[in-house]
Amino acid sequence: MSAPSRLARRMWHQLEPIHAVLYFSPQAFGRAAALGYDVESRWPSYFAYRTAPLGRAGARLATAAYYSFSPRMIAEHFPAVWEVAAPEQVLRARLETVDETYRHLMGDRMAGPDVAEAAELARRVAESVPVEGRPFAAANLDLPWPDEPHLALWQAATVLREHRGDGHLAALAAAGLDGCESLVSFAAVGAAPVENFAGRGWSEQEWGEALERLAARGLVKPDGQATERGRALRDQVERMTDDLAFEPWRRLGEERAGRLGQLAAPFLGAVFEAGLLPMTSTLGIATVQVPD
């Protein structure tokens, strides 16, 4: 792995959990329930919280943005998700969620100059992201910056997370992997068990047909395990994802990126100490399991 790729990957691991509390904290589900969302499943609140910056997205836009979710599943949630609460309400609720979550997790540790410095550095790098072909990143970057440093840090982490996620979808498309194939090929290299993707809405038949398509390309074996070509293609996707995520970190520089990682560490530690986030293994590296 090149030095740029290592930096982009490292900063992703350090900032992703700061963003991801929005989807998993008890406060997040509580706020979503207060808005009227069914929280027996995490998907209604997840789709509402994550998509709200795009405005009142319909099924086609959401299908394009989410890529690896079944269009049939997306159609079950869009535009119905906005009949429960308007995007503007959801945007307010998600900041309130993050504020409440981190005040609960961090307490007095959230005050002080370190958090303000982390927010300033994170905002600087977030505002430098190229937005061409990055709809989620651009939509989040268009939002007003919160005044409170811990919320500005969270919003910057969100912009950077979505910038990387948008690039990941571009890398999947460049590899010729459609939505279902992207999941089948990911499971095939052992990065996550097939069961992890049951919530994405693909039927057993659709999964099997995707497996057949990948087998015809020489990317998977009949038992669903990746061939050498299949592993090489997934490596290509991950490398391209890192490369496409590197530019804002190049502009910030290795030293200041390292400083941001140090300053963000208490937030990261608080999240993991609370056991809020599901984990998976991405190419042998433990990481937060948040869908693209």
For 111-153, the pLDDT digits (tens) are 889 999 999 999 999 999 999 999 999 999 999 999 999 999 9
Question: Cα–Cα distances in Å, from 141 out to 63, 90, 129, 158, 204?
Answer: 21, 16, 9, 9, 38
Work out the percent of the chain whose per-residue pLDDT is above 70.
95
Instruction: Write out the two tokens for 50.
Output: 């994550």
CA-based nearest residue to 196, from 68, 18, 106, 90 = 68
**pLDDT band, residue 292 (cuts 50/70/90):** low
Asked if 155 and 143 touch (Cβ cutoff 8 Å), the reply is: yes
- Mapped onto helix, strand or coil, the DSSP state of residue 205 is helix
Angle made by CA atoms 80, 57, 201, in degrees to the nearest 5: 60
Question: Could you read off the pLDDT of 16-74 as tens digits, one per residue?
Answer: 999 999 999 999 999 999 999 999 999 999 999 999 999 999 999 999 999 999 999 99
Asked if 145 and 152 touch (Cβ cutoff 8 Å), the reply is: yes
Question: Could you read off the pLDDT of 79-119 as tens digits, one per residue?
Answer: 999 999 999 999 999 999 999 999 999 998 888 899 999 99
Dihedral (CA of 52, 49, 10, 2) sign: negative
Whole-number pLDDT of residue 278: 77
> Does pLDDT of 285 surpass 50?
no
Whole-number pLDDT of residue 291: 52
**pLDDT band, residue 195 (cuts 50/70/90):** confident
How buried is residue 216: exposed, middle or buried, by Cβ count under 10 Å (0-12/13-18/19+)? exposed
Q: What phi and psi values does residue 120 have, to the nearest 5 degrees?
A: -65, -45
Whole-number pLDDT of residue 279: 56
